[in-house]
């Protein structure tokens, strides 16, 4: 039985699913984020793969012939992809490994293999990839260093704090963000946010709770919040159109696949902002916002690679009808210990 190990690894969580060549979902587990550098990322993926094998009633050794489709945040540049591939291959836990940015999983979720498509992930970070006529392209998505915005949700959260602080000290216009930031972060003043960040009592990652606040206030017409959301929407449209032009002369029939937490908003606020900020976008692209999880895209990429006959509908349905099992920290720690023991023995054997 051919097996595909599908991996969607991000900053906050990592999903690992095990499927057979027919597209049947055998198991699906979720653990901590894996955007930790090549070695740590490979360790997290391997631990979760072991958990997935256990849940499927398989011995971890039975993964030796599996193909691992690893779609990972942090795989932005060729050197990063190569380093992650080397680290994952060194685990010797599966038969073959492919590594790509997690945006490719999103694109595959919303577009068939041969379709001309652009994918934009708008979650904590911001990433754009595209493919057509056998060619692929992606913007680095590193932040200001590569001409990109410094994230999507991360950017909105930081800018919300900045705008609220400027309202509080009089340098900026009044905005509902000032009160909302204080309430959401349980502080008495916006200045306290900076103090708690400096004291490491609060992390920038925890500021993500402000993103829905920004969207809500923008929907209510708060001018400052509207400006923040519109600015991000313009950038998403710019990315999509610029990636599209990379394939000039541009053929017709393109799909724009949108994903990440901002586009999975059940109220569709970011999608509405995008359409308002970029008139005509619906004429340039067929816009798709998949409701299947990104790991389903990783599964489809893996099944494509092993030339399985499973249909996308079969895979989507399998994931929509299932929920991942959350792995507890103690389980991850136990599997990490088990993972290290054989490595030490192998190293001693080589030395001898």
Q: Please answer whether residues 172 and 163 qualify as being in contact, where contact means their C-beta atoms are separated by less than 8 angstroms.
A: yes
pLDDT value for 310: 79
Mean predicted confidence (pLDDT) in 125-135: 93
In whole angstroms, how far apart are CA 208 and each of 12, 74, 202, 203, 204?
Answer: 11, 19, 11, 10, 8
* Per-residue model confidence as pLDDT tens digits over 192-215: 999 999 999 999 989 999 999 999
**Which residue, chain included where needed, has tokens 């099992």?**
325
Cis peptide before 249 (omega within 30 of 0): yes
* Per-residue model confidence as pLDDT tens digits over 243-288: 999 998 877 899 999 999 899 888 899 999 999 999 999 999 999 9
pLDDT value for 345: 33
Q: Name the nearest CA neighbour of 7 among 79, 81, 100.
A: 100
pLDDT value for 344: 37
SS3 of 36, please? coil
Residue 49: both structure tokens together: 């793969």
* Per-residue model confidence as pLDDT tens digits over 48-95: 999 999 999 998 888 999 999 999 988 999 999 999 999 999 978 889
In whole angstroms, how far apart are CA 340 and each of 42, 86, 119, 333?
Answer: 13, 18, 38, 11
Asked whether residue 340 carries a pLDDT value surpassing 60, the answer given is no
Alpha-carbon distance of 16 to 104, in angstroms, equals 16
Alpha-carbon distance of 155 to 141, in angstroms, equals 13
* Per-residue model confidence as pLDDT tens digits over 147-164: 888 889 999 999 999 999
């Amino acid at each position: 039985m051919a097996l595909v190990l599908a991996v969607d690894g991000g900053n906050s969580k990592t999903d690992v699913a095990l499927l057979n060549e027919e597209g049947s979902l055998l198991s699906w587990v979720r653990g901590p984020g894996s955007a930790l550098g090549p070695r740590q990322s490979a360790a997290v993926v391997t631990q979760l793969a072991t958990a997935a094998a256990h849940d499927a009633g398989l011995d971890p050794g039975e993964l030796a012939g599996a193909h691992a489709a690893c779609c990972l945040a942090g795989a932005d540049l060729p050197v990063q992809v190569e380093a992650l591939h080397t680290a994952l291959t060194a685990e010797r836990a599966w038969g073959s490994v492919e590594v790509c940015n997690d945006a490719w999983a999103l694109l595959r979720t919303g577009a068939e293999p041969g379709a001309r498509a652009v994918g934009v992930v708008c979650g904590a970070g911001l990433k754009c990839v595209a493919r057509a006529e056998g060619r692929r392209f992606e913007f680095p998505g590193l932040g200001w260093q590569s001409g990109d915005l410094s994230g999507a949700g991360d950017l909105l959260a930081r800018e919300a704090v900045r705008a609220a602080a400027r309202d509080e000290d009089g340098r900026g216009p009044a905005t509902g963000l000032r009160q909302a930031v204080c309430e959401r972060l349980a502080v008495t003043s916006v200045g306290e946010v900076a103090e708690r960040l400096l004291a490491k009592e609060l992390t920038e990652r925890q500021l993500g709770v402000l993103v829905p606040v920004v969207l809500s206030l923008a929907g209510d017409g708060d001018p400052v919040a509207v400006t923040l959301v519109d600015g991000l929407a313009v950038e998403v449209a710019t990315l999509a159109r610029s990636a599209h032009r990379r394939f000039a002369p541009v053929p017709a029939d393109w799909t724009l696949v949108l994903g990440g937490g901002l586009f999975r908003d059940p109220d569709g606020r970011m999608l509405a902002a995008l359409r308002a900020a970029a008139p005509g976008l619906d004429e340039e692209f067929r816009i798709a916002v998949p409701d299947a999880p990104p790991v389903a895209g990783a599964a489809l990429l893996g099944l494509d690679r092993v030339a399985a006959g499973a249909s996308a509908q079969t895979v989507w349905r399998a994931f929509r009808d299932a929920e991942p099992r959350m792995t507890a920290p103690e389980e991850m720690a136990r599997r990490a210990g088990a993972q290290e023991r054989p490595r030490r023995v192998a190293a001693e054997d080589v030395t001898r």
